[in-house]
Each structure stands twice: as C-alpha cells, then as structure tokens.
Amino acid sequence: MSDLAAKDFHVASCQATLFTPEEAVSAVKLIKGLLPSWVSRFDQEPMVLPFGGEVPREIPRLILQSKDGARRCEIASERINLLWRKVSPDAPEPTLAEFYGDASLQLVEYQQFLGARVGRIAAVINRYAEHPEPARFLTRHFCDRRWDDAPLNRPESLELHAHKQFALGGRFIVNSWVRNRTGTVSLSGGSSAVVMVEQDLNTLHEEVPSRSYSDAEIRAFFDEAAREFEVIMRLYYPAEKAT
C-alpha cells in the first residue's frame, strides 16, 4: 500500500477569520469606503444580502468574490472570513505564507477602517492527496496493526479528529484541530479518492469578552499559524514513518 507524506498533499482551501463581537456592519459604508481598495482582489460585482428586521449577527451582509471564483470575502457583523479555494486541478496554489500574509494585511485594513474590537482570530486550511485506498491507508497510518484484521479491515470511509491546546508562537493560547478523513475530489478525468486533512487554529472562545487583538497581534497570529500548519502536517505525515 502506497504511503503519503506531507509533501504529497495539495492545498484545497485556506481561510482567515476575525471575530468582531460588537460590530454592526453597514454594507453601504463598506462598499463606499473600503471596497475601492479591494477591487483588484474581488473584481466580481458584490453581493449585498437584503434583510428585513433583526439579522442574526453571523449571517453575511456583504459577499465579495473574484471572477475566477478563487477568492471570496464574507462579511457579517460577528465576523469576517477571507477565503481562497482551488478552482481547478491545475490552478496555482499560494504558499501558506503568501495567503496568510496577504490576508492579515486585508484584515488589519478592515479592522482599522471600522475601528472594531477583535476578540478572536482563526485560521483554517484544507488539503488533499490522492490515494487508491484512503480508508485503509488511514487505518494503517494511525492505528495499531491489531485493528487491521478486524474491525477496521474493510472500511469504506474513516475519520480521525484530534484536538489540543497550546501556546502558538509562545504567545497565543489556541485550540488546534486536525481532522483526517476520506473523501473524493473532482480532478481532471473525473473524481478521485483522496485523504483529506483539515487544520484549524483558533484563539479561545472564552476570551472573546475580554480580548482586544492589536494590528501587530493579528499579523503575528497569521504569520505563526502559517508556519505551525506546516509543522503539524509533517508530524502527522512524516517523510519517513517511525518504525
């Protein structure tokens, strides 16, 4: 059975998020004041979602996209998400440093424009690697050999989630989620079976009422996250498996 290492995985999507617990977003204000400086990234017509009455804070009021569909921005009162996704098999992938470096500059610009308090920060990345037997691979990769005969000898699908907390860069206490699972992706020539890995680094929800992240801290978080994602990935999928 073929093995997989971190270098074999492709980036499927990246996300950078700020949580703004007290903000009340105005789509009109953003379109007039902020969108002109972002038009080179989001060159498709903006989507303004009309609502009557009370709008849940987590519902986006303004959605920006690039014409090729690779870049997307979702702005709600509660949060702003910046996203990149791989729109075709041969589409170039940004490095994590490139995506999160650019995203942090945009997010700081957004925070400064509104004067919003940022109470929480998150970064998410999804990767995939083709494999003829992804469920069997995950079983053998993560489980003791005694489970390979039964009950995990013929899995059609498999998921393994791991969560821990640690100090990212020695300064940000974060939740770290790594979700390994089977799946399929549409590649040239049809769908292919893949191993999918989602990595999620986010500051603590419990700190939202009291934290106010500065511009420098926002940039530092995403800089550290980009590096830590690669470190974690190599731990889960080393170039040479330990015997």
Q: Are 106 and 82 in contact (CB under 8 A)?
A: yes
The two three-digit tokens of residue 62, written as one number: 């303004």
Note the pLDDT of residue 143: 78
How far apart CA 32 and CA 27 sit, in angstroms, is 9
Selected residue with higher pLDDT from 195 and 150: 195
Evaluated on CA atoms 113, 114, 118, 122, the torsion sign reads negative
* Residues sharing a CB contact under 8 Å with residue 210, sequence separation 6 or more, in sequence order: 119
By the 10 Å C-beta count (0-12 exposed, 13-18 middle, 19+ buried), 194 is classed as buried
Note the pLDDT of residue 167: 98
pLDDT digits (tens, 9 = 90+) for 178-230: 999 999 888 666 788 999 999 999 999 999 999 999 999 999 999 999 999 99
Mean pLDDT, residues 4-21 taken together: 97
Whether the predicted pLDDT of 78 surpasses 60: yes
Note the pLDDT of residue 51: 65
pLDDT digits (tens, 9 = 90+) for 18-67: 999 999 988 899 999 999 999 999 999 999 987 656 778 899 999 999 99
Note the pLDDT of residue 6: 96
Q: pTM here?
A: 0.92
What DSSP element (H or E) covers 103? helix 96-114
State the chain's mean pLDDT as an integer: 91
